[in-house]
């Protein structure tokens, strides 16, 4: 017997590929963004390394992974009639492993025209004393109040409305703080993210460390806020765990594979914290 992670689609068509390693002591459902993404074989993902950690501890657990790279919380909430709701009806789980919020912040910084999203356009402006002052606070409030918080509430209420999972705990990814740098996941196709957003908004590189720390403090506060007053919702405290990357590196550095995703050593550090909490 051993622990296994398998995509939801694969488990539907070939359940024997996972079940042959059972019976399983615990079954988890993984949903969310690229930190959970089942398709990120080259990059790695938390469920893969969490399964590795379970096996190291002699556990026999199953993770059914329905996550998608570049997924935002808004899109998860808008498409809940798909995989998420369907899988909640199929099995009782020992926990839902959930990662969302980080992409919403990045998309709000990177996507809109300069000065129209989460960041101020600093072209021709005197640099602030603190890099975090480059954040447009009204845009941050709108992101939280109009998108993140109500969309998480929808995801949470769907879990609680599930007859099989009304009391199932949900574990929230706390992320960690990356370093803005020109380190894409796929050169010319995927990333970099913060580096592109900061350059697009003409933010001086000397301000990037403070700005990134401030933004990911906001990410953590938002995710932590989702656990407040909601039964069974727990933040997995993984902030300030990973060794930072060099800001001049363009590939794997420290505990980071690229600008915003851990490498193998980083994933293993994260997985140990998750496994401790899940056990």
How far is the first Cα of the chain from the last one, in angstroms, to the nearest whole number? 18
Residue 41's pLDDT is 55
For 96, list phi and psi in degrees, rounded to 5. -105, 125
Sorting pLDDT into bands at 50, 70 and 90, what band is 80? low
Is pLDDT at 79 greater than 70 in this prediction?
no
Fold of 4-101+147-184+223-278: Rossmann fold (3.40.50)
Is pLDDT at 39 greater than 70 in this prediction?
no
Question: Can you tell me which residue has the tokens 């999972």?
Answer: 165
* Domain layout of the chain by residue ranges: 4-101+147-184+223-278
DSSP structure class, residue 253: B
User: Is the CB of residue 120 less than 8 Å from the CB of residue 128?
Assistant: no
pTM over 0.75: yes
DSSP structure class, residue 154: H
Residue 243's pLDDT is 98
- 163 or 77, higher pLDDT: 163
Alpha-carbon gap, residue 61 to 18, rounded angstroms? 10
Residue 40's pLDDT is 54
Residue 35's pLDDT is 87
* Residues 9-16: contacts with CB under 8 Å, at least 24 apart: 11/64
Q: In Å, how far from its chain's centre is CA 95? A: 16
User: Is the CB of residue 102 less than 8 Å from the CB of residue 197?
Assistant: no
The SS3 of residue 212 is helix
Say which residues have a Cβ less than 8 Å from residue 51's Cβ, sequence separation at least 6. Answer: 3, 4, 5, 61, 63
The candidate with the shortest Cα–Cα distance to 46, out of 56, 55, 37, 58, is 37
State how far the alpha carbon of 198 is from the alpha carbons of 69, 119, 189, 203, 247, in Å: 22, 8, 18, 5, 14
Residue 190's pLDDT is 82
pLDDT tens digit sequence for 141-181: 999 999 999 999 999 999 999 999 999 999 999 999 999 99
Residue 70's pLDDT is 66
Residue 20's pLDDT is 95
Parallel, antiparallel, or unpaired for β 95-99 and 170-173?
Answer: parallel
pLDDT tens digit sequence for 89-103: 999 999 999 999 998
Dump strand ranges (E) for 33-169.
61-65, 95-99
Residue 37's pLDDT is 81
Is the Cα torsion angle 240, 243, 246, 250 positive or negative in sign?
negative
pLDDT tens digit sequence for 181-215: 999 988 877 889 999 999 999 999 999 999 999 99
């Amino acid at each position: 017997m051993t622990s296994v992670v398998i995509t939801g689609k694969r488990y539907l068509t070939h359940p024997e590929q996972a079940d042959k390693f059972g019976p399983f002591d615990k079954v988890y459902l993984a949903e969310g963004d690229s930190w959970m993404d089942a398709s990120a074989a080259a990059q790695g993902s938390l469920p893969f390394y969490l399964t590795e950690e379970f096996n190291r501890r002699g556990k026999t657990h199953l993770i059914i992974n329905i996550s998608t790279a570049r997924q935002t919380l808004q899109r998860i909430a808008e498409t809940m009639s798909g995989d998420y709701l369907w899988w909640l009806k199929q099995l009782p789980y020992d926990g839902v492993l959930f990662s969302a919020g980080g992409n919403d912040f990045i998309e709000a910084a990177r996507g809109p025209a300069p000065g129209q999203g989460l960041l101020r356009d600093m072209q021709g402006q005197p640099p602030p004393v603190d890099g975090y002052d480059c954040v447009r606070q009204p845009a941050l409030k709108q992101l939280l109040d109009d998108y993140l918080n109500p969309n998480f509430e929808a995801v949470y209420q769907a879990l609680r409305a599930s007859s099989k999972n009304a009391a199932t705990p949900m574990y929230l990814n706390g992320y960690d703080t990356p370093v803005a740098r020109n380190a894409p996941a796929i050169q010319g196709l995927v990333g970099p993210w913060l580096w592109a957003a900061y350059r697009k908004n003409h933010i001086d590189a000397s301000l990037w460390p403070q700005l990134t720390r401030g933004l990911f403090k906001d990410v953590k506060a938002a995710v932590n806020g989702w656990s407040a007053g909601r039964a069974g919702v727990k933040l997995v405290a993984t902030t300030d765990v990973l060794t930072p990357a060099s800001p001049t590196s363009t590939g794997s550095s420290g505990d980071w594979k690229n600008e915003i995703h851990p490498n193998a050593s980083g994933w293993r550090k994260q997985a140990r914290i998750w496994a401790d909490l899940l056990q």
